[in-house]
Structure 1
Amino acid sequence: MRILNVTETYAPFLEFGGPPVKVRALSEGLARRGHTVGVLTADWGFEKRLQSETPKIAAERSPFGWRNNENGVQAIYLPTWFRYRALSWNPAVKRYCRARLQNFDVVHIFGLYDLLGPAVAGACCVRKIPYVLEPIGMFVPIVRNFLLKSFYHFAWGRRLFEGASAVIATSDQEAKELAAGGVPSGKIVLRRNGVEIPVSWPEPGAFRQAHGISQDAKLILFLGRLSAKKSPDLLLQAFAELPADLEGKPLQLVFAGPDEGGMRAQLEEMAAQLGLRTRIQFVGPIFDGNKWAAYRDADVFVLPSQNENFGNTAAEAVAAGTPVIVTEQCGIAPLLANEAGLVTRHDSAALSEALAQMLGTGQTRAKLEAGCAKVTSRLGWEEPVREMETLYARLASQPT
């Protein structure tokens, strides 16, 4: 089959979090299975990345923007004329659709609240090409710009969902949200996310050594965007309710990830007010080997989100052998509960209690750490890739 994945962000722009990692994993997985896979995405500074990336990216100019072929996937980075946060305006999308869209059997659109998806969806409807829509947890507005998001649904979102041949939910929680929002149940397809395990692992202790963290410290890790939706402030409050040390070992909290909306400054001010500034580190965005080193060196990983359609970072932590704590609002929670992690309410007292249980004298952490390998065996990308392959084949074979 000939498959086009449409996404606002794609590798090498991994600072945008889970979406570019997910789209890359699905795209390369389908390419390995013999399909022709293309990615249409926005250019967030590709030329600068060409100069700074190691190893170097072998890319070339195309009539539509930069073109990069990697691991069997051809990605086109449309020039960005305007950007606001993770939203871009890429006028070349119309020209691309006129010239190239008919070359694909099926299109998969990832994400909402951008302009690429509606433009490609409209072109698919005109050409009678089936498309799949994956909201990636954006369907229910949780924080920020409620009026703008309501306008988006009025102007584009409604037609985007109506024209889709299938809508992907990555957890039971997201499927229920979609159905409650009016998406016909017959359109909703449940397909979990997966996790990419590195070929080789960093040496134990590498992350701690790089950031001056004692090997004896009990390390609590938050890794992800520092955004209101992910509630790093809730974790900080829960941390403040714990003693300075447990079993004679100091507690250390690390926030790793890009700042969003000034959240880092809020956290730093909050930490200072609570008298915790010396026990907290902000290390900024980390990727690839540095990311896996952080997971591996942590005693516990925490994802305290208000709402999370899946929770890729929690899956990655488990793959690294580190038990996790997630809130009930995380779609991945049922896959981890009492096997590789603890599930708690979105409440600082409940989260603090879970941290104390995980890091205390009992056997909780040892039991959950032992369960990580079993859970990881169920979280690979092979199954999701096969499920997408089956769905695409069904849609492509239907009469138009």
Structure 2
Amino acid sequence: MRIIHIVHGKVNPNGHNGISRVVYNLNRQERAQGINSEIWSLVDDAKTHFSYIRDNYVTVECFPRVRIPYAQHEIIKRLISEKNNIDLVHFHMIWFFDKNIIARATIRAAIPYIITTHGTYSKPNATAGKKRLARMLFERAYLNGAVEIHAITNEESQKLKDYGYNGPTFIAPNGIDLSEVPEVRRNDVFGVLPKPEIARFIWIGVKRSDKNLVELIYAVEMLPRKIRDNLVIYLIGPNYRKNESKYKALVNKLGIVKNFSFVGPLYGKEKYDALESADVHILPSLSEVFSLAMLDAMACSKPCLVSKGCGYGPWEDDDCFISFDPTAEAIADAIKQMFVRRMDWQRMGENARKVIKRDLNWPTIARIMIENYVRILKK
């Protein structure tokens, strides 16, 4: 079976782009399980095709962008010339019009395609502004040309219907490769705290508005003084559109400067060292389809706080996280609940690691994906 994953960029698994990390691991694990899985990527500065060896496991076939519908494009020429040897095209591109041009070419060549939408159409801004126009002009046509869509959660599957997709979906969550988590991790990244009873919470992500950090800040201001005096939240990640200055100003205005520490992006071992140095991971996003940052935290045996609608509902009974609505009041209540359960943090973290080993690892998810490839191709 030959599967072609189509994506944008060079698929760096160690950056902040979640789609790249997913495609890298899916390709690597599919190949490990005997599938002829390839990554064909559109790269902004590419003038002609070249092979980019990411590492010993993954090679990315890089092609120039496809911006003009009726021009000659290397990636389309290659798809058509090899159509008899390609079983399925698997798209991971959203919004770029390139994907529509390529998708139409696969239909003409009688190559079926599926799409992983990575939660993009579930976000509140998916039908606002220019994206509303994109939905009307070409996004729904792209979705409805697929033989099936891979949704990461049941909630995403329903929201795809709301967006205008009329076909079938199958569900497979995101995962993590435990081999990328260092067995030996530092636990002193944040230095010595003034009091040993201070709890260190950690948030990791891109500092965008949909990450709901404003509500998190207001939630901390609502906490009883006894909890605030024993809480520091480390906000780790890129400063998207200079949002960090707004968050710092709000923290200063509310008089809770001591409760927050703003840190830049951390990747690889530095990220895992930071997680090991924290006590609890918190994810207050408005909408996030299966956060990879939370998977990292669970792999490091950390108890988690996560907003509802982030896809982790099926694992609620495993007692490794506390969920809440993404409002300041609900976030504050969840933090208070977590403090009440402080003696359970180690056990909750151990439960989180068990969930990763049992369900949310890339070898398991790749098997689910391959089973669905086989099922779809038998239609």
Alignment size in residue pairs: 372
1:221 equivalent in alignment to 2:202: yes
Matched residue of 1:208: which SS? coil
Matched residue of 1:5: which SS? strand
- TM-score by structure 2 length? 0.88
1:99 equivalent in alignment to 2:78: yes
Q: Which residue of structure 2 lines up, in the alignment, with residue 303 of structure 1?
A: 283
Q: Which residue of structure 1 lines up, in the alignment, with residue 312 of structure 2?
A: 332
Matched residue of 2:240: which SS? coil
Counterpart contact for 1:109–1:134, Cα < 8 Å: yes
C-alpha displacement of 1:97 = 1.5
Q: Which residue of structure 2 lines up, in the alignment, with residue 57 of structure 1?
A: none
Q: Which residue of structure 1 lines up, in the alignment, with residue 18 of structure 2?
A: 18
Counterpart contact for 1:324–1:340, Cα < 8 Å: yes
1:43 equivalent in alignment to 2:16: no
Counterpart contact for 1:329–1:346, Cα < 8 Å: no
Counterpart contact for 2:13–2:21, Cα < 8 Å: no
1:30 equivalent in alignment to 2:30: yes
- Alpha-carbon distance change, 19 to 336 in structure 1, aligned in 2, over 3 angstroms: farther
> For 2:352 and 2:246, how far apart are their aligned partners in 1?
33
Counterpart of 1:122 (choices 104, 110, 125) is 104
| Identical-residue share of aligned pairs (%) | 20
> For 2:53 and 2:194, how far apart are their aligned partners in 1?
42
> For 2:318 and 2:32, how far apart are their aligned partners in 1?
35
Counterpart of 1:375 (choices 355, 358, 369) is 355
Matched residue of 1:158: which SS? helix
Counterpart contact for 2:185–2:272, Cα < 8 Å: no
Q: Which residue of structure 1 lines up, in the alignment, with residue 325 of structure 2?
A: 345
> For 1:391 and 1:294, how far apart are their aligned partners in 2?
37
Q: Which residue of structure 2 lines up, in the alignment, with residue 151 of structure 1?
A: 133
Counterpart contact for 1:327–1:333, Cα < 8 Å: no
C-alpha displacement of 1:127 = 0.7
> For 1:339 and 1:177, how far apart are their aligned partners in 2?
27
Matched residue of 2:230: which SS? strand
Matched residue of 1:139: which SS? helix
1:127-160 deviations in whole A, cap 9, x for unaligned? 1111111111111341388121112122221221
> For 1:373 and 1:141, how far apart are their aligned partners in 2?
28
Matched residue of 2:103: which SS? helix
Which letter does structure 2 place at the counterpart of 1:181? Y
- TM-score by structure 1 length? 0.83
Counterpart of 1:68 (choices 43, 50, 53) is 53
1:1-45 deviations in whole A, cap 9, x for unaligned? 221111224432743432111111100001112222221224368
- Structure 1: gaps spanning 5 or more residues: 46-60, 81-87
Matched residue of 1:70: which SS? coil
1:326-367 deviations in whole A, cap 9, x for unaligned? 111211233245610001111111111211221346544344
- Alpha-carbon distance change, 332 to 9 in structure 1, aligned in 2, over 3 angstroms: farther
- Alpha-carbon distance change, 222 to 13 in structure 1, aligned in 2, over 3 angstroms: same
Counterpart contact for 1:10–1:24, Cα < 8 Å: no
Counterpart contact for 2:285–2:326, Cα < 8 Å: yes
1:177-202 deviations in whole A, cap 9, x for unaligned? 123334335x1111111122235334
Counterpart contact for 1:226–1:264, Cα < 8 Å: yes
> For 1:392 and 1:361, how far apart are their aligned partners in 2?
43
C-alpha displacement of 1:175 = 1.4
Q: Which residue of structure 2 lines up, in the alignment, with residue 131 of structure 1?
A: 113
